Structure 1
Amino acid sequence: MLDKVAAEHTIQSRPPTPPPPAIPPFSFRLATGMVGVLLAVLLAGFNEHVTEIGLTDISGQMHLSHDDATWLTALFEAFNISAMAFAPWCGATFSIRRVTMTATATAGFLGLVAPFMPDLGSMLVLRCVQGLACGSLPPMLMTVALRYLPPNIKIYGLGAYALTSTFGPNMGLPLTGIMFEDFSWQFLFWEIVPLCALSIACVAWGLPQDPLRLERFRQFDWRGLVTGLPGICMIVIALEQGDRLDWFRSPLITHLFFGGGFLFILFMINEWTHPLPFFRASLLKNRNVSASLITLAGALMLAAVTLDIPSEYLTEVRNYRPIQMVPMGLLLAVPQLVVLPLVAALCNIRAVDSRHVLIAALAIQGFSYFLGTWIDADWVRENFYVILLLQVASQPMMVIADLVIVTMGLGPADGPFISGLFNVTKGLANAIAAGVVDALMRRREQYHSTMLLDHYGNQRFAMQGMGDPTAGELAPRIADPAHVDGTAIGLFHKVVAEQSMILACADIYVVMIGVCAALIVLNSFLPTRVYPPRAPIAAPSR
């Protein structure tokens, strides 16, 4: 009885929670603000991918070793992904407008001063802070789309968010080639500055200013912060540096993985039970949410090889420079500005089941990888065009259909929570995909190199045993240093390296076909049918 009275007294003494701010009617001004948020998210993606692709040029100009330069990417990614977990809470507390403008201004200013950093330490600190700023922006776009867009066009807002997963990453390669070849290496950092200014202007004029809700600090999830931030950072750093340091043979990677994994488990348990979490982990009980997040992770792994494999092949086998691969990036990115609205319109039709759109996209994606398994030493840039054109259609279909499945079955109040959960999954999946693809590529190259050398050695000794006079003409007589032909050895090494790379690329395409098949099976039975939202029909006037 006393406990009941005490609980009632606590409830009565707690200040009432202010009602959520009213949603303004959709207008040109609000649409301009949303475009500003979209620009902010795209520039964050450009800053991430352009500097990652141009890392060799940046490290050369700043006199950094390869190992030191990799930490610029690893730390940026770690803080970029961890910020996605906490940004929705900040948006609800300080307002979406304030968070977006502050993060965009911070990213732009740090990009402006980045080329002038005096040493590696200051550059690493700058990239950490810039990662926090850039990672805060994607959740703002999803929250804005779910909150402000009218029901009839809400799916088109999700299509705009899908640009950050399809158009943005694929523009990294063309921008890198253009900036470095036609301007200078500093523009790899400076290319975001004009977009930052335009984005801030659009957001300042277009988005409404919500009031501060500082009372949310009374239930601040400090356990989530002290477990989630270091846990996510440790996992991402381990994934980024794992292949370079040979994974669990490195004590650093081992400690990062197990320590980060333990903290992340504590973080998820806390988010499941906390009354005001950074994201609502209990949403995972929803079948559509679970299926969509698994599909998202798989789709991002598929997207990781879309340009990585052609770029790796053309760089290593054909000696292409970044500027020569610009047409591939443009072919994959630019048509999606047209395809994305068309796919959004398709998913906005009530008779269309988004699950079927997703399964069809996975089938198209798998077929494109099947074509990629025919790769050989004669391929040039144009041979990849058919594969990329198929993925121009399949990538938007995958992302938009997945977004529809995960968001349309939830209530308006779940928007910030699903935004954080979705974006954290997206960030971690990107890091996992990059680590897995790098590890697969290296392992398969080593395997095929060993097999080719073994095959050559066995064949040579067999021919010598049969007394074949041409056996000595097949390759240099390495066993006798006096008769070593240096040119022949170099040519032989080049052929083995090229063939190992080609076979490894074909193997990764086969693995991606298996991923597509697994996702098709998953989405055939796990998610339930959802329908596009519709505005309520007004009652007829009497």
Structure 2
Amino acid sequence: MNAKPAAAPVPHPFTWRLALGLIGVLIAALTSGLNDRVTDIALADIRAAIGISYDQGSWIISAYQAAEVAAMMIAPWFAVTFSLRRFTLAVSAGFMLTGILLPMMPTPAMFIGLRVLQGIFGGALPPMLMTVALRFLPPPLKLYGLSGYALTATFGPNMAASLAAFWTDDVSWMFVFWQVVPLMLIAMALISWGLPQDPLRTERFRQIDLFGMLTGCSAISLLILALTQGERLDWLASPLIVGLLLAALPLFVVFLINEWFHPLPLFKLQMLQRHNLTHGLLALAGVLIVSLSGSALPSAYFAQVEGFRTLQFAPLALTVGLPQLLIAPLVAALLNIRWIDCRWMLAIGLGFLITSCLAGMQITTDWGRQNFWLIQILQAFGQPMVILPILMSSTSVVAPPEGPFASAMFNTVRGFSSIAASTLVSWFVSHREQFHSSILINNAASHAWLMTAPDSSQANSSHPLLPDGSISSAENLSGFSTLVKHQALVLSLSDTWLLLIGFAVFLLLATAIVPKRVWPPQTLIQPVTPTSR
């Protein structure tokens, strides 16, 4: 059966009322991202409060993330079917209610089950932000709407450390989940008042891509479970991880084949023939990997070398997060200038991120918080200068009726890539740390004096002394072990910054070759053709 032509969305004049509705969707999407990251950071306190082990607790994060990304795949389809306003209000209410109930769950199984349900509601919110921005914003404001979407990738994750520390240290672990209530109430009020009400389109159920939903959501969920549990279960040495991968990969291939031929798919794969869209999806995945250089790596150093708690690291994270509120709109304003090529803006942003990584490679065990300020400032400017040009370039080739397809693909790639990036970096740091530890210990073994206890003349009052006045051998070996561990971690972090530079350089080369020149929406006076560069 041939698909009917997609009906063009009903145009709505942009008013202050509609603007407030868009702000409501932005608040809801940011709250969803904060909830995910804050829960991840506060996991140790949550496990202690509900009385579950480390292994059980890891499923709290894994199950939520699997449900979250699966929901990103299907949310735009249901939003078009039930209307943006109805669907966004429904998932916002569900997200808030599950947040209220989570701390009250009496058993770990019920807690994880409700967390999966919250992941479905939470994952449906970021796609709504992109869909609304692409549909309702007039050309002069389109880039500012996309800058709001970019905030969900840059602002929220960097604000999470401060919020997690505040709730767990000063209030109660329950507010890790209850923090969503006031924000979602505000968001729902603005959405209800500001977004226009479209009619129901239940006739779309006659062409529902049910097979694609089942295979796609199952495949992406199983892949995420394998990625998030792989390091803990020793990857391919675990029958569970092997089973997850063997089930996920064929399902994903079947899903892609189905999407190519289905008359009303979740992903319109034919759109990938447009160079700018394909480049945007790949570049977004790469940027999510490179951006970990300003969050995951410094936090790993402070947690393991300096022994910092989350609250002590939070000021550095805020250095990246808070300026986004000003930098993202500023970058959008610059991109609205016709003579500024967004590819050059993207290249400059990558230059900032590469410089940040080069600075990080100089890390030593003597570094303190002051050594990271330059790295964080470069990240604060570089991240929006990369993400916004990617969004501008890729969405320029998307027609308004295709907005839901683009939203589904972008958000699924973004959700999956952020998890894959974190897994890749964690795995690389861990294995390089083991490599450097082995080298350092082997070198120390060839210098026996490093492993012997000092005599009494070398002892100081901070070490426990034996009756003969010397430091105990066990104490000396313990100090040596700590020194080796810290040095190995520092060397592995330096290696990881070098790896991320490689990703950034690859993105730089791809940007110079793949995408075509595009112009700001409000000044577009000619279509983009394959020869216009």
TM-score bin (small chain):
over 0.9
Matches within 5 A, 1:118-129: 118-129=106-117
| SS, match of residue 187 in structure 2 | helix
Deviation at 1:332, TM superposition (A): 1.0
Pick closer, same or farther for the CA change 1:488–1:255 going to 2, 3 Å. Answer: same
Matches within 5 A, 1:143-162: 143-162=131-150
Deviation at 1:463, TM superposition (A): 11
Residue 7 (structure 1) aligns with: none
Pick closer, same or farther for the CA change 1:294–1:227 going to 2, 3 Å. Answer: same
Question: Amino acid of the residue matched to residue 360 of structure 2?
Answer: G
Residue 269 (structure 2) aligns with: 281
For 1:225 and 1:123, the matched residues in 2 are separated by: 25
Contact 2:218 2:248 in 1 (8 A): yes
Contact 1:224 1:278 in 2 (8 A): yes
Deviation at 1:385, TM superposition (A): 0.8
Matches within 5 A, 1:464-503: 485-503=473-491
Matches within 5 A, 1:308-347: 308-347=296-335
Residue 505 (structure 2) aligns with: 517
Contact 2:95 2:122 in 1 (8 A): yes
| SS, match of residue 357 in structure 1 | helix
Matches within 5 A, 1:110-189: 110-189=98-177
Q: CA RMSD in A?
A: 2.2
Question: Amino acid of the residue matched to residue 177 of structure 2?
Answer: F
Question: Amino acid of the residue matched to residue 403 of structure 2?
Answer: G
What are the superposed Cα offsets for residues 163-218 of structure 1, whole Å, 9 maximum, x if unpaired? 00110111111111111122111111111111010000000000011111000000
What are the superposed Cα offsets for residues 263-319 of structure 1, whole Å, 9 maximum, x if unpaired? 111111111111100121221111111111111111001123321111111111111
Is residue 440 of structure 1 aligned with residue 413 of structure 2?
no
For 1:128 and 1:463, the matched residues in 2 are separated by: 51
What are the superposed Cα offsets for residues 409-467 of structure 1, whole Å, 9 maximum, x if unpaired? 22112111111011111011011101101101110111111111101002228999xxx
Aligned partner of 1:219 among 207, 220, 231:
207
For 2:145 and 2:12, the matched residues in 1 are separated by: 16
For 2:503 and 2:84, the matched residues in 1 are separated by: 36
Is residue 61 of structure 1 aligned with residue 37 of structure 2?
no
Aligned partner of 2:517 among 525, 529, 533:
529
Contact 1:240 1:434 in 2 (8 A): no
Residue 178 (structure 2) aligns with: 190
Contact 2:9 2:401 in 1 (8 A): no
Contact 2:451 2:477 in 1 (8 A): no
Is residue 46 of structure 1 aligned with residue 31 of structure 2?
no
| SS, match of residue 447 in structure 2 | helix
Contact 1:281 1:421 in 2 (8 A): no
Contact 2:19 2:194 in 1 (8 A): yes
Aligned partner of 2:222 among 212, 221, 234:
234
Deviation at 1:258, TM superposition (A): 2.4
Question: Amino acid of the residue matched to residue 196 of structure 2?
Answer: P
Q: Which runs of 5+ in 1 are unaligned?
A: 1-9, 475-482, 538-542
Question: Amino acid of the residue matched to residue 34 of structure 2?
Answer: F
What are the superposed Cα offsets for residues 389-417 of structure 1, whole Å, 9 maximum, x if unpaired? 01110000111000001101221121111
Q: What is the TM-score when the length of structure 1 is the normalising length?
A: 0.91
What are the superposed Cα offsets for residues 5-46 of structure 1, whole Å, 9 maximum, x if unpaired? xxxxx88xx9x8794442210001000000000000000001
Number of matched pairs = 514
Greater shift, 200-209 or 407-416, is seen at: 407-416
Question: Amino acid of the residue matched to residue 103 of structure 2?
Answer: P
| SS, match of residue 243 in structure 1 | helix
Contact 2:7 2:401 in 1 (8 A): no
| SS, match of residue 411 in structure 2 | helix
Residue 208 (structure 1) aligns with: 196
Matches within 5 A, 1:417-428: 417-428=405-416
Contact 1:305 1:437 in 2 (8 A): no
Contact 2:150 2:387 in 1 (8 A): yes
Is residue 79 of structure 1 aligned with residue 79 of structure 2?
no
For 1:248 and 1:356, the matched residues in 2 are separated by: 42
What are the superposed Cα offsets for residues 64-114 of structure 1, whole Å, 9 maximum, x if unpaired? 111110100000000100111100100100011111111111111111111
Question: Amino acid of the residue matched to residue 224 of structure 2?
Answer: V
Contact 1:366 1:513 in 2 (8 A): yes
Residue 468 (structure 2) aligns with: none
Residue 531 (structure 2) aligns with: none
| SS, match of residue 12 in structure 2 | coil
For 1:445 and 1:18, the matched residues in 2 are separated by: 53
Aligned partner of 1:404 among 354, 372, 392:
392
Residue 98 (structure 1) aligns with: 86
Contact 2:9 2:400 in 1 (8 A): no
Pick closer, same or farther for the CA change 1:277–1:300 going to 2, 3 Å. Answer: same
Residue 414 (structure 1) aligns with: 402
Question: Amino acid of the residue matched to residue 289 of structure 2?
Answer: M
| SS, match of residue 51 in structure 2 | coil
Pick closer, same or farther for the CA change 1:456–1:103 going to 2, 3 Å. Answer: same
Contact 2:275 2:514 in 1 (8 A): yes
| SS, match of residue 306 in structure 2 | coil
Question: Amino acid of the residue matched to residue 135 of structure 1?
Answer: G
For 2:385 and 2:281, the matched residues in 1 are separated by: 16
For 1:304 and 1:272, the matched residues in 2 are separated by: 33
| SS, match of residue 19 in structure 2 | helix
Question: Amino acid of the residue matched to residue 486 of structure 1?
Answer: A
- List, as ranges, runs of 4+ consecutive aligned residues in structure 1 with deviation greater than 3 Å: 16-21, 461-464
Pick closer, same or farther for the CA change 1:213–1:18 going to 2, 3 Å. Answer: farther
For 1:238 and 1:488, the matched residues in 2 are separated by: 41
- Aligned-residue sequence identity (percent) comes to 41
Pick closer, same or farther for the CA change 1:37–1:494 going to 2, 3 Å. Answer: same
Contact 2:162 2:314 in 1 (8 A): yes
Residue 389 (structure 1) aligns with: 377
| SS, match of residue 275 in structure 1 | coil
Contact 2:147 2:329 in 1 (8 A): yes
Larger Rg: 1
| SS, match of residue 233 in structure 2 | coil
Q: What is the TM-score when the length of structure 2 is the normalising length?
A: 0.93
Residue 357 (structure 1) aligns with: 345
Contact 1:78 1:234 in 2 (8 A): yes
For 1:186 and 1:381, the matched residues in 2 are separated by: 30
Contact 1:178 1:323 in 2 (8 A): yes
For 2:485 and 2:414, the matched residues in 1 are separated by: 34
Contact 1:94 1:211 in 2 (8 A): yes
Contact 2:304 2:486 in 1 (8 A): yes
| SS, match of residue 263 in structure 2 | coil
For 2:292 and 2:224, the matched residues in 1 are separated by: 16
Contact 2:444 2:451 in 1 (8 A): no
For 1:222 and 1:144, the matched residues in 2 are separated by: 24
What are the superposed Cα offsets for residues 331-369 of structure 1, whole Å, 9 maximum, x if unpaired? 111111000011001111111111111111111100100
